Amino acid sequence: MSDHRKNAKDGSDPALDRLFGALADPTRRSLLARLSLGPAKVTDLARPYRMSLPAVSKHLRILEEAGLVSRRVDGRVHRLTLRGRPLEQVEVWLDPFRSYWAHTLQALKHDLETRDAGPKRRRPRRAAR
C-alpha cells in the first residue's frame, strides 16, 4: 500500500492519482524517459518538442507536483532530475494485476495445449482419377 492516506469511502489515493495523471500524457512520459538518462536543463528538455517553453514548463511542473522530478535552480538555469521512488507506488498498485494476468495467461496456455493435443481431423481422401 501507499504511504499516503486513502479515502475511506472510495479507496482513492491522492498521491497515486497525481502519479497516474502525470503519467497519462505522452509528452510527460517522453520527458521522464529523457530524464532517465540523466539530469537536464529545461531548455534542453524543451528542444525536441514543437511547443513553447512555457508549455513544456507546465508539463514539468505537473511531473514535479507528482514527485517524479526535482528541480535545482542555478541563477537562470533550471536543472531537472528524475526521482524514481514515486514509481514504486505504481508498481505496488499494479502488483495484484500481475497475478491476475499470470493466471489468465496460464489458463490460455493450458487451453491451447489441450486443443493441440486433441484428436486431429483427417481430410477426406480424393478419389483417384
Q: What pLDDT was estimated at residue 129?
A: 63
- State the CATH number of the domain containing residue 38: 1.10.10.10
CA distance 88 to 32: 15
Q: What pLDDT was estimated at residue 6?
A: 58
109 residue type, one letter:
K
Cβ partners under 8 Å of residue 100, min gap 6 = none
What is residue 49's DSSP assignment?
Answer: S
In a domain, 40, yes or no: yes
Give the range of the structural domain holding residue 3, as residue numbers without chain letter: 1-117
Q: What pLDDT was estimated at residue 36?
A: 96
CA distance 6 to 8: 6
In a domain, 44, yes or no: yes
In a domain, 125, yes or no: no
Name the grid cell of 78: 533550471
Would you give per-residue pLDDT tens digits along the chain (129 residues)?
444 455 545 668 899 999 999 999 999 999 999 999 999 999 999 999 999 999 999 999 999 999 999 999 999 999 999 999 999 998 888 888 888 888 888 888 888 888 866 666 666 677 666
In a domain, 15, yes or no: yes
Q: How many domains does the chain have?
A: 1
